[in-house]
Amino acid sequence: MTTSAMHDDHHHEPPAGWQRWVYSTNHKDIGTMYLIFALVMMFLGGGMAMVIRAELFLPGLQLVQPDLFNNLVTNHALIMVFGVVMPAAAGMANWMIPLMIGAPDMALPRLNNLSFWLLPMGGTLLVLSMVVPFFGGGAPVTTGWTLYPPLSTQAGMGMDLLIFTVHILGISSILASINIIVTIVNMRAPGMSWMKLPIFVWAWMFTAILLVLIMPVLAGAVTMLLFDRHMGTSFFDAAGGGDPVLFQHLFWFFGHPEVYVLLLPSIGVLGTVIPTFARKPLFGYKPLVGGMAFLATLGMVVWAHHQYTVGMSLAATKYFMIVTILISVPVGLMIFSFILTMWRGAMTFETPMLFAIAIIVMFSFAGVTGVMLAVVPADLQYHDTYFVVAHFHYALIPGALFGLYAGVFFWLPKWTGHMYDEKLGKIFFWWTTLGFNLTFFPQHFLGLAGMPRRIVDYNIQFTEFNVVSSVGGIIFGLSHILFLYIIIKTVKGGEKAKDQSWEGAMIGTPGLEWTLTSPPPHHSFTVPPVVK
């Protein structure tokens, strides 16, 4: 055997041990790493939220100094958005999209490896941005996740680390998105036309397109910020002829579509989970796809509703108000699509389905408060109060996080080969739902009563609601220890998952919920289910 032949022989052995993960180009391994990374970051970001709520349990300063408090608020948001929801959704996309479209892997496996490994780098910089002020790195970043100047032009070295964090995580998102788009466009199995794609795949198609369009804008904004900080420019400095409001426009041009980046993957999970447990095909597949397209498009042109108070012209304000209210149309359409899928179905209530139903109920509530915030004269009162905090947590925790929980419980048997403990899953569902509502429902009233957001101390009149909210926050936070336990227990063993993990789901097509025949049947089952 020649040396080169021996070398080739050696080359084709799959790497084992740590190398299997570090060098992995396998979509399942990379998906698993994304999910683990998100889980680790969830405990970090969630821990920060619990410190915030513990501080606000009573008026006065308890645990942290004001600067550190504001820094916790900033990093909690950045970690939850870039470190938890997006990587977890990307993990599901990596795992499921190739399986759903009948592709052997993602289109660009090495790019896939790179887009994952950029995440721990970005995460490390994010954590460092919190640590450097303690070692003489200047003032901590106290801007909130929006990074508005002039606060962000005055912060210390932590701000520079945050700017690089945003760049690295942005590159990761763009690369992953390109990979997903190319995979869906080029690697569908023969016969799988666009209108036969599972709704989860469609949801990711729109998510990836949005990310490619908006991420460069945020990158541009923070680069200009970096130049203002170190190169003597004054893009956002009024004294030098710049405009701090320009940063707000650039940031929210990214920030508002980003909300849909967080929500769309969960809509995809709902479109998979609900038909399975209602044992009926998805109601209104084409309108749902159209609704997602409409949502993504409209989401790009409503950004300034986050800045009604900056003094825009009447015409601009009026435009943003009307278009923002219009956004409730596709959202309402989707909710009705899911409700009508469940209508007269043979429903069972396993953990993923419980999360799906909870999403519909609680996200609808966020829709109502969203319309309130869209109306300019009302928003002038609510702006920068706890009402806004309550609204976006009702949008993002049910809309993004609960969707991810539904997906995790739904696909855990597929990912691990074992069934999770259904009883513990249900306990986790009720525990976390109760804790969530206890935390954020009172915040609506705090906001309506005038309590400003992002403050470390508050007037004594707000005490009772803050006590309730903080107790809820601790309950909600602790529920995730059970979540971790369920996952570890499932990975280690337990009942073997059958070909068809969900009993009686989609009768006649074993395991339809994870793979589709190609071409798929035009409805979801070969034999219509019998309603008992």
Q: DSSP string covering 495-530, please?
A: SBP-SSSSTTTTTTSTTTTT---SSPPSSS-SSPPP
Smallest Cα–Cα separation from 271: which of 361, 329, 335, 210? 335
Q: How far apart (Å, rounded) are the C-alpha atoms in residues 342 and 272?
A: 12
pLDDT bucket at 510, cuts 50 / 70 / 90: very low
Question: Residue 503's pLDDT is what?
Answer: 55
Question: Residue 11's pLDDT is what?
Answer: 57
Burial 303-312 (b: 16+ CB within 10 A, else e): bbbbbbeeeb
286 lies in a domain? yes
The CATH number of whichever domain residue 326 belongs to comes to 1.20.210.10
Q: How far apart (Å, rounded) are the C-alpha atoms in residues 205 and 199?
A: 10
State the virtual CA torsion across 341, 348, 529, 288 in degrees, nearest 10.
Answer: 20
Two tokens at 209?
Answer: 């397109």
Tally of CA atoms within 13 A in the half-sphere of 218 that contains its CB:
29
Q: Are the C-beta atoms of 396 and 259 separated by less than 8 Å?
A: yes
User: Amino acid identity of 368?
Assistant: V
Per-residue pLDDT of 3-22, as tens digits, reads: 554 455 455 677 788 988 99
349 lies in a domain? yes
State the virtual CA torsion across 282, 286, 288, 289 in degrees, nearest 10.
Answer: 120
Question: Residue 336's pLDDT is what?
Answer: 94
Assess whether pLDDT exceeds 90 at residue 411.
yes
Smallest Cα–Cα separation from 439: which of 390, 388, 488? 390
| Interval 397-426 mean pLDDT | 94
Question: Residue 361's pLDDT is what?
Answer: 95
DSSP 418: B
pLDDT bucket at 234, cuts 50 / 70 / 90: very high
Q: How far apart (Å, rounded) are the C-alpha atoms in residues 165 and 79?
A: 11
Q: How far is CA 312 from the centre of its chain?
A: 30
How far, in Å, are 46, 48, 91, 410 from residue 83 at the CA level? 11, 13, 12, 22
9 lies in a domain? no
Q: Are the C-beta atoms of 328 and 371 separated by less than 8 Å?
A: yes
Residue 364 zone, left/alpha/beta (φ > 0; ψ -120 to 50; rest): alpha
| Interval 50-60 mean pLDDT | 96
pLDDT bucket at 494, cuts 50 / 70 / 90: confident
- Domain containing 321 equals 26-515
429 lies in a domain? yes
pLDDT exceeding 90 applies to what percent of the chain? 82
Q: Across all residues in the chain, what is the average pLDDT?
A: 90
Cα angle 167, 405, 111; round to 5: 35
User: Amino acid identity of 35?
Assistant: L
**Domains identified in the chain, total number:** 1
Per-residue pLDDT of 345-372, as tens digits, reads: 888 999 999 999 999 999 999 999 999 9
User: Is the preceding peptide bond at 281 cis, omega within 30 degrees of 0?
Assistant: no
344 lies in a domain? yes
Q: How far apart (Å, rounded) are the C-alpha atoms in residues 475 and 234?
A: 46
The residues facing 385 across adjacent strands are: 452
388 lies in a domain? yes
525 lies in a domain? no
pLDDT bucket at 506, cuts 50 / 70 / 90: very low
Per-residue pLDDT of 299-336, as tens digits, reads: 999 999 999 999 999 999 999 999 999 999 999 999 99
416 lies in a domain? yes
